[in-house]
Structure 1
Amino acid sequence: MVVDPKQFLSDLFDAAVASAQPDKCIPQYLPDAPKGRLIVIGAGKASAAMARAVEDNWAGELSGLVITRYGYNVPCRSIEIIEAAHPVPDEAGLNGAKRMLELVSDLSEDDTVLCLISGGGSSLLPLPYEGLSLEDKQSINKELLSCGATISEMNCVRRHLSQIKGGRLAVACHPATVINLLISDVPGDDPINIASGPTVGDPTTCADAIAIVERYKLTLPDRAWVILQQGLGETPDMTDPRLSKVQSHMIAAPQIALEAAALIAQQQGIPAYILGDSIEGEACDVGIVMAGIAKQVARYGQPFQAPCVLLSGGETTVTLTGDGRGGRNVEFLLSFAIAMDRQKDVYALAGDTDGVDGVEEIAGAYCDPSCMERAWAQETNPRLSLSNNDGHGFFEALGDSIITGPTLTNVNDFRAIFIAQSDAVS
């Protein structure tokens, strides 16, 4: 069977993204009509598309407010959509978060809040703890994004410096019933780490946040230190009685997306192996490890026989040392390509399922055995590009960027490595 590697890997990426589209995931999780009102709130890159799916499948009255990333708006009839900045929060997100708290401040026990949460919600719901400014929040966010902290570590600090994260939004909804519909973009699918868990109990403490700040030597405003050191930022935990009427449903997740991609591969006669849905670590290190596995398959048929495709997800990190155009998926892919050193018959694609890798409107990139040779022909040094965190610049110059536009969902990073047989590539 002859396969076009780039088209094959693109088909797998498309299948992963399609599996997490809200119009497919939402309908089966909608609640029965409540005695009182149905209020829809939410935040994240998929939240507007989720809101539209709710409206399209709900027969009764509803109202609400959700906040999504600029460019991810999906028009709704009864639910207001606010666009705000990601990954560094802005004034629009701050005002939206304030309005959301006001919207749920006078609910009764007969009311139901349908909360639509997806990746990106942490930046889109920036309501700093009393005494902190939006500028403080922006500076803290920038440090967290560049220090190499994991997503769970970043969100722990965010929760304890917020008036809305870490279950505080659910507390504001009390005594109404809260039903969370979650699209996971985090390793392990823990609800507390999806948009920093605004409507679920928080098992972490201010002491945990302090340990993270000290571990990465972050610089915090004086007021932030006071909030953490005096325990002012403690969040409600899972035993808080105000959270007793909270229900959570995971409607889309990285593992589901990887399984959807694996099915497409198998339908094309290519065995697919899922290596993990929650792989973390420095993107460049993960690239080296994945290259080692791919080489073993290509050279020795271990642990799998070629042809096959290796699939993985999760969220790697990048510790910034340069001033390039970044992106953790292209950082991974460039490191992978360098480590492969023009190994024959190995092709790879890495992309963010939300369509944005880092801050660029580029989902990721594709690489093949010729990419190193093509780069040198353009007098581009791959190792210098990697050390400068310039994966987007590197792959864009080769014409190998993957651009999808807003996908209206987010189930984290997607990586596919195709190890072919020489006579099976077109």
Structure 2
Amino acid sequence: MAHALFLIRPQPFLALLGRRKMSLHAGAREVFAAALEAVQPDVALRQHLERRGNSLVCSGRTFPLSNNVHVVGFGKAVLGMATEAERILGDHLVRGVISVPRGIQQALRQHGKHHLLLKESSRIQVMEGAQHNLPDADSQKAAECIARLASALTERDLLLVLISGGGSALLPAPIPPITLQEKLDITRKVAGGGATIQELNTVRRALSVLKGGGLAQCAHPAQVLALILSDVIGDPLDLIASGPTVEGPVCREEVLVVLERYSLLNSAPASVKHVLGRLPLRQEVGTNKAGHVLNTIIGSNSIALQHAGRRALQLGFRPIVLSTGVCGDVRSVSRLYGLLARFACSRGDTPSELGSEVLKLGPQVGVESGDLRRVMHSLEQARSQGRGAACVLAGGEPTVELTGKGRGGRNQELAMRVGLELRGLQPLLDSPVFLSGGTDGQDGPTEAAGAVTDAKLYEDAKKQKLDMSSFLKNNDSFTFFTHLSGGRNLLVPGLTCTNVMDVHILLIPQCAK
């Protein structure tokens, strides 16, 4: 995976923010805010879609404009994308339909995000549904409207498709005679059986009109331009919202293998068996219609980290991007960040020992050994030079093993555990600071997106008589941070209007010689 290189020499961080106790915490929050700003739906779309006279330009491709553009969209962030798209297209926009979560328009008004709302005179119809991110009758109605719009297009038309996280639930269109409930039941059983996302997607594509390239097929022979905000590790186009604009032919054989693997074939409804019976038994070589489709990622975890790195550089840190695919249990992930911080601030023979431990953790947290070596080399350079604060940036979606019934989320629990890993670590000038935040603004069933922590966390909790082990055992990280110092460690950005997974920020203010 390629990572951005930052060649500008950073200015000393403490010269910029001053030696205040919360300066590093404030710096981490600023870096996170820069990551969020880069993947705002309107900002991301504006940076990738440009109108030049009577042409629309995206990713080096030019599309002629002649009052021929139709817009469809589905996902939690597409309202802001649609608003910006209509502004760019002007009179060339004929009409559009977007499927968004129930209550999103009211939430945007309440949070003062009026710039992300369509005007009353808009040519784009907004349909709300999929309450609690579950497909329902309203989202199915929206999907049917989108399918009708796409099916009516001709070769002179351009279909602009806006896609973001949550799009799969907002575009349910089971192949008749399968009912929505029947499709939900069988996909839940597949997921509940422990299927991989690829296996689940195989079943979804086989039972859906629009998923797995179905929307692009409906729009043929019109040109299709899909602009995508990715919320999936690695940005696989076929998995984001189940790939409605990505050709993904499915055959009966591969679906039957999945259903048999999870003992669901015999119990499948007659409607499902009927639809599967119409599929080709094996992959067939047919006419490839994918040439009329351009899929473009306009917002992702990688883009968020690039902009976070630029802000870190402005604040005097040397930005180092670790990975956008951090996963695995938060215990292993927290251990990784603790080891990296100790590696950056250690002396003598200790770094090599710590480095070996870091490399052993790689497979558990989804990070390749080459990326770990690259990051440690950069940290070692900073340590040997004795100057230049470091900012390690990463993203992904770690997991939490639920052992209790408290309130919290993976970001807040990760921050707690990293705080414990940093315990006792004190470089030359200040304690390292760690931030973990969900870019969607909500970490689990809480009002926070995550938390900021440092090496003083354990001692601060002890002074306030907060038993960290008890809170962790009960998965009660939000309650812990709420009680700790009046909740000042919590990260509460409010309604972010986007989602490109989580962002992790490790600030190391001064490496020892």
Shift in CA distance, 223/381, structure 1 to aligned 2, threshold 3 Å: farther
Which residue does the alignment assign to 1:392? 478
* TM-score (norm. length: structure 2): 0.71
Tell me the C-alpha RMSD between the 2 structures.
3.7
- In 2, the alpha carbon distance for the partners of 1:286 and 1:41 equals 38
Report the Cα offset of residue 72 of structure 1: 3.9
Which of the numbers 384, 388, 394 marks the counterpart of 1:312?
A: 394
Matched, 1:297 2:383: no
Alpha carbons of structure 1 residues 230 and 136: separation in structure 2 relative to 1, 3 Å: closer
User: Structure 1: any 5+ residue segments left out of the alignment?
Assistant: none
More divergent stretch after superposition (103-112 vs 34-43): 34-43
Pair member with larger Rg? 2
Counterpart for residue 420 of structure 2: 338
The reply on whether 1:107 has 2:153 as its aligned counterpart is yes
Q: Does 1:275 align with 2:322?
A: yes
Secondary structure class of the residue paired with 1:392: helix
Equivalent-residue separation in structure 2 for 1:294 and 1:147 (angstroms): 39
Range with bigger deviation, 271-280 or 369-378: 369-378
Q: Where in structure 2 are the equivalents of 1:403-414 lying within 5 Å?
A: 403-414=492-503
Mapped partners of 1:221, 1:328: distance in 2: 38
Q: CA deviation at 1:413?
A: 1.4
Q: Is the 8 A contact 2:422 2:454 kept in 1?
A: no
SS at match of 2:84: helix
Instruction: Kindly state the Cα deviation for residue 390 of structure 1 after the two structures are TM-superposed.
Output: 3.5
Q: What is residue 66 of structure 1 aligned with on the other side?
A: 98
Distance 1:218 1:417 in 2: 45
Aligned match of 2:452 in 366, 369, 394?
366
Q: Which residue of 2 aligns with 1:81?
A: 126
- Point out where structure 2 has 5 or more consecutive residues left out of the alignment: 1-12, 18-22, 51-55, 57-62, 106-115, 352-375, 384-388
Counterpart position of 1:324: 406
1:92 to 138, 149, 154: 138
Q: Percent identity?
A: 33
Report which stretch shifted further, 1-10 or 387-396.
387-396
Give the Å deviation of 1:139: 6.1
- The corresponding residue for 1:10 is 29
Query: Which amino acid letter does the alignment assign opposite residue 56 of structure 1?
Result: R
What is the CA–CA distance in structure 2 between the aligned matches of 1:238 and 1:389, rounded to whole Å?
51
1:157-196 mapped onto 2 (5 Å cutoff): 157-196=203-242
1:276 to partner: Cα distance: 0.9
**Contact between 1:277 and 1:313, CA under 8 Å: does it hold in 2?**
yes
Segment drifting more, 228-237 vs 118-127? 228-237
Which amino acid in 2 is paired with 1:83? E
Aligned partners of 2:329 and 2:399 also within 8 Å: yes
Q: Check conservation: 1:314, 1:414, Cα contact below 8 A.
A: yes
1:29 maps to amino acid = L
- Partner Cα distance (1:361, 1:212) in 2: 38
Q: Deviations over 1:81-104 (max 9, x none)?
A: 233335333443232222222222
With 219-228 and 182-191 compared, the bigger mean Cα shift is at 219-228
Matched residues in 2 for 1:275 and 1:385: separation?
29
Residue by residue over 1:306-329, the C-alpha shift from the partner in whole angstroms, topping out at 9 and shown as x without a partner, is 631110012334454543334332
How has the CA–CA distance of structure 1 residues 130 and 403 changed in structure 2, closer, same or farther, with 3 Å as cutoff?
farther
3-state SS of the aligned residue for 2:90?
coil
C-alpha deviations, 1:364-406, integer Å up to 9, x for none?
A: 2212223333445555443444344433333333312212222
Greater Cα shift, 306-315 or 9-18: 306-315
Matches within 5 A, 1:17-166: 17-27=36-46, 28-30=48-50, 31=56, 32-35=63-66, 37-62=68-93, 63-73=95-105, 74-76=116-118, 77-84=122-129, 85-130=131-176, 133-135=179-181, 155-166=201-212
* Gap change, CA 1:184 and 1:379, over 3 Å in 2: same
Could you tell me which residue of structure 2 aligns to residue 402 of structure 1? Answer: 491
The CA deviation at 1:180 is 0.7
Q: TM-score, normalised by structure 1?
A: 0.84
Contact kept in structure 2, 1:34 and 1:110, CA below 8 Å: no
Kindly indicate whether the alpha-carbon contact (under 8 Å) linking 1:363 and 1:404 is maintained by their aligned counterparts in 2.
Answer: yes
Secondary structure, in 3 states, of the residue corresponding to 1:241? coil
